[in-house]
Every structure is written in C-alpha cells, then in structure tokens.
Homo-oligomer: A and B are copies of this chain.
C-alpha cells in the first residue's frame, strides 16, 4: 500500500524511514473508513503510535500524506527534461515526461484508485492536487520555453502545449482511475497524447535544416474538422 519502494541497498544515503510509510498507512486506513475531514492528525499519530510532532516532520501538511510520492516524481520529471538532447523533438519529449507521472500511478493501482476516490470527494484535496499538477505543468512549460526561445510567441506556445499535454494526460489517467485500474492505462495515455502531438507536434529545432523544397498536396472535403486535416498533413510530412 505504501508508495515508496522498500528496495534496500540503494546508494541514496539514508534508507527510507519506516515511520513515513507507517504514517501513510495509518492515515489511509482512517481516511477510508471514516473520511478525510473526519480524521484528525491526532487520530493518525495515535494509530501509528508516534508523536504528533513527528507527523509534521515527514509531511508539511495533512494533505501531503495523501500524495506521498509526487515530490519524488516531480524531481524525476525535472531530471528527465534536463537530460534532454538538443535534437529531441520538444513535444514528444514533454509527452514522454508526462508518461513518467502515469508510471508512478500505475505502480500502485490500488493505492492510486483509493486516492482518486478521496480527492474526488474532498474539495481541499482537489485544490491540493491542482497545485501539484500545476507544478508538473510549470516544469514542462519551463523546458518548452527554453526550446522555443527565439521563435515567435515561444513562451505562449510553451504554455499552451504544456497545458494541453497535462490535460490530455489527466483525461486518460482519470478515465483509467474511474475504471478501478482495470483498463490499459498506457494505451489510453498514448492515445490521448497522440491528439496533442497531432495538433502541436513536429516543431523543428531552432536551427532549421535547410533541406530541399518539397510540395505536399492535401485533398480535403471542405467542412472537415481541421484536426483531421492536420493528421493527414502530418502523415504526409512523414512524421507518423
């Protein structure tokens, strides 16, 4: 049920203190059987058998105990984006970064589904989740801004694409969570992100390679949705 893998032997300094996991476990037991707002921090620490002070040593707020691994995942995403190569296609890169978040959810389907039902009911937790999602979005946008620097409206494009990627990811993630983790989350997210790449993808790196001129002919029924035309166009340009 706990979020942090208990695999020992990692070189990362300290071993994960079991107290943190014990607090998460105690908190979720009470949240699920009694409700989030009906559970006080004192109840949690009493069940875990530790002092109240220790709770706030491990979690800056009561809400944080519901999202115990997002801090780590955000750090992973930041590192992933920082490790990008110069010739990576930016939109594809941020889509891959978003898949890191999905992976974290998929590692503990039962835990993720429980948390989903909690956040769906409690407004305070929804607000907290929004701030978490916002930090992911800002990380994506920061990366895209550097990649779009110099292009016209680079900052705008970065913000819009980051928002679209997050929205598509969350759409697929939530539909997977609603199904109690039964479906194929990976496929759902791939499908959703595909739409975003169809709309925004294939922006070249700033130094445009001056290739030979080329002519593309698109045949479209007037009135067809533009995004369908874009999909056709994309495949015609050889970026399928």
Contact = CB atoms under 8 A, between A and B. Distances in A.
A167 B163 contact: yes
A166 to B, nearest CB: 7
Contacts of A222: 211-214, 237
Q: How many copies does the complex hold?
A: 2
Interface string A200-240: 11111000111111111111111111110110011001000
Contact of A226 (B151, B203, B210): B203
Contacts of A234: 226
- Interface size for chain A: under 10, 10 to 19, 20 to 34, or 35 or more residues? 35 or more
Contacts of A195: 153, 156-157, 160
A133 to B, nearest CB: 8
A223 B201 contact: no
Residue of A160, A223, A225 with most chain B CB atoms under a 10 A cut-off: A160
A192 interface: yes
A217 B208 CA distance: 23
Contacts of A128: 127
Interface string A134-163: 100000000000000001010111011011
A126 B130 contact: no
A216 B227 CA distance: 15
B160 A171 contact: yes
A53 B158 CA distance: 45
A165 to B, nearest CB: 9
Contacts of A219: 215-216
A159 B193 CA distance: 12
Contacts of A212: 222
Interface of A: 126-128, 130-131, 134, 151, 153, 155-157, 159-160, 162-164, 166-168, 170-172, 191-192, 195-196, 199-204, 208-227, 229-230, 233-234, 237
Given A127-B128, A203-B226, 18 more contacts: A130-B130, A130-B131, A153-B195, A156-B168, A156-B172, A159-B170, A159-B171, A160-B192, A163-B163, A204-B225, A208-B224, A210-B223, A211-B222, A212-B222, A213-B221, A213-B222, A220-B237, A226-B234
Interchain residue pairs A-B with the least CB separation, the first 3:
A163-B167, A163-B163, A214-B222
